[in-house]
Amino acid sequence: MEKNVAKTKAWKKLASHYRSIKDVEMRDLFASDPKRGEKYNISLETLYLDYSKNRFNDQTMQYLLDLAKDADLHNKIEAMFTGEKINTTENRAVLHTALRNRQSTPVYVDGKDVMPQINAVLAKMKKFTDAVRYGDFLGYTGKKLTNIVNIGIGGSNLGPVMATAALKEYWAKDIKCYFISNIDGSACEDVLSQIDPETTLFVVVSKTFTTIETLTNAKTCRKWLVDALGEYAVSKHFVAVSTNAKEVSKFGINVDNMFEFWDFVGGRYSMWSAVGLSIALAVGMENFEKMLDGAYEMDNHFRNTPFSVNIPVILGLLSVWYNNFFGFHCHGVIPYDQDLRYLPSYLQQLFMESNGKSVNNSNKFVKYDTGEILFGGAGTDAQHSFFQLLHQGTQIVPLDLIVPAISHNEMGEHHEILVANALAQGEAMMKGKTVGEAAEELAKAGKSAEEVSMLKRYKTFRGNRPTNTIILKKVDPYTLGMLVAMYEHKAFVEGVIWRINSFDQMGVELGKKLALNILPELRGEQTKEHDSSTSHLIDLIRKIRK
């Protein structure tokens, strides 16, 4: 049985330390240490983290590192990498790291090395993606398949959506990618109205091949294809990422075109597996493997680097510091790159599904906060959306500012203006603007004493708001792999500190089960016992639909 983290010596030391540092201004930390920005940064190949604009000092960091040691983080990391069943509620290993184990070092689950089967699927993916991209695998009418439609939901959608958008500059010139996830019929209609059945390949991603949203969408797309080309076209225009060969075959898909993934890979960690088939079709297997290479580099860094200079560990500990001691329960991710615009949505699932838990590993309800509400958007759009609250609102939200130094599209001054905005936001969040500074600025602008008195508070920024700045050389497959793996390991660190299982998602189940009860009632069956609100809403919608 694990110790209650809130009762450990390390936690209590942090609580006491918090009381002495909670009002310290980052301005003062920088003033007292002119080299603070050079001191608190870590580089890993093409990725650079500056975490100096955070509310901590050396003593804070030592206490946080003690917290990691107290949680046995080092051994927990080893347990994950070596195939121990750390997903305790489902009795499963957690081996997304094995999917990008580029040295194929043996990893055993139940005494069996999983690397041969992982490498076999990667080889199968390469053979198939090459065949599609080079025109050796053609559609039913003999045309090249250039429209790739991924049908999945959750991790089977968010990872491929994010990565294909991030790597748009690496797509084959004749390839277009589309995604259908929402059960809303408009999601199917939006895609089907844009594509030609003769040149379309559907990738149906469902481990069990029973996920209601995915299978409903897949059946709608199947009917659309059959109406256009006939029943025999299905096997030439549909492939599956699944383990249920019986249902895949029943659907009409050739099981030779079924790509397997495993129970030791959770959905939100699965884009490194055959779930990433649509990514590989778009950018080529060579670039997909470069993404695996980048993730592997971050894996080795996380596993082998001392915690004091370990990027995911530092990021995870800082989030715990803010969430549990300052009460900052939100975290923003702002990529200053249009191609990374879907990264915040991807990370929402990663963090909120992983660590949105209220029962610890000792089967006890926790009495401290877990998880963090993650949101974000692409800079500079986000600056004109929700940054008003971040600068002057009463809620303090720590931020990650992600900045590629080089753009794929260096048009005039665009990228320099973009980078200037990113760096300025970090400085503004930290420094703010005092009432005195605002008054002086207004006076210099020619405002009267009365106007200065009236406006100076409105022009004040409290500052002292934390940011991490993550500099990337460029958004390429390798760097994207590093970046995503960094966030995966950050979520793991948080879960270990909080003593929760970051790898199940039982909170997803209840609403889905209740939906299956309500569905026949919407179709006309007698309404069963619900609360009065739900019963009334069912009756109302039935009447409207009639």
User: Any idea which residues carry the catalytic annotation?
Assistant: 353, 384, 512
Q: What are the residues facing 138 on neighbouring strands?
A: 144
Q: How far is CA 246 from CA 253, 254, 327, in A?
A: 10, 11, 50
CB 297 within 8 A of CB 178: no
- Rg of the chain on CA atoms, in Å: 26
According to DSSP, the β-strands at 200-205 and 258-259 are unpaired
* DSSP code, position 91: T
**Residue 365 tokens, joined:** 């309800």
**Residue 531 tokens, joined:** 């609360």
DSSP for 348-396, please give it: HHHHHHHH--SB-TTS-B-SS----EEEE--TTGGGGTTHHHHHHSSS-
Q: Which sign, positive or negative, has the C-alpha torsion 508, 83, 346, 196? A: negative
Q: What torsion do the CA atoms of 264, 365, 351, 306 make, to the nearest 10 degrees?
A: -80
**Residue 175 tokens, joined:** 């390839």
**Residue 54 tokens, joined:** 């955070």
According to DSSP, the β-strands at 112-113 and 200-205 are unpaired
Q: Which residue has the tokens 């949505």?
A: 345
Q: What are the residues facing 433 on neighbouring strands?
A: 461
